[in-house]
Amino acid sequence: MTTEVLEEGRPAIENTPGFLGYVLAVVVSWVLVSGGLGLVTSVSDFEPELLRADIDLEWLIAGTVFWAMMSGFFALGAAPLGVVVVHFACRNVERKWVHVLATALVGGLAVYAVALVFDESPGDWDKVAAGVGFCTAVGRASVIPLVPAVRRGRLATRSVGGPVDNDFRPGRTAC
């Protein structure tokens, strides 16, 4: 697929899912992180020697609710920054696996950033960072089907002289 070029090799249409697509990706990631950590809590109580073969339903619900609140609090600060970083780093890249990989890296590195601030031994956070990186990658991959629709919408608004996502440069207006 060739991309229309406006100026200096910059694609006219970015390869992003749009604002609502990013919101959906964050929600999917948040649900996966909360559910995953809730499941870990219900199975092991975070102690490997206490690993149980059965899943304690009360711990699953309590752990999922607890981690939904904790990861939601974390996501309120980290997700907007991560979305902006991945958006500007990958908006001109057509291969979606690059977007997914970049999102996984940013998600995992965000966990390490929090671990460096709040914990003296961030090496203990390896599994959490890998899990959050995986969940953020799945969240970003879940919105890949939205990109063609967003692209069509941008082309339609451009043809009638409406705003375009990449028109927010100094000296230009959105409309």
pLDDT in tens, 75-122: 888 888 899 999 889 888 888 899 999 999 999 998 888 888 887 676
Query: Dihedrals φ, ψ of 47, to 5°?
Result: -120, 110
pLDDT(22) > 60: yes
Whether the model pTM is above 0.85:
no
Burial class (CB within 10 angstroms; exposed 0-12, middle 13-18, buried 19+) of 58: exposed
Answer whether residue 53 shows pLDDT above 70: no
Q: Tell me, what's the pLDDT at 45?
A: 55
Say yes or no to pLDDT of 160 above 70: no
- Residue 72 has which token pair? 């939601």
Answer yes or no: are the C-beta atoms of 1 and 95 closer than 8 Å: no
- The predicted pLDDT at position 154 comes to 72
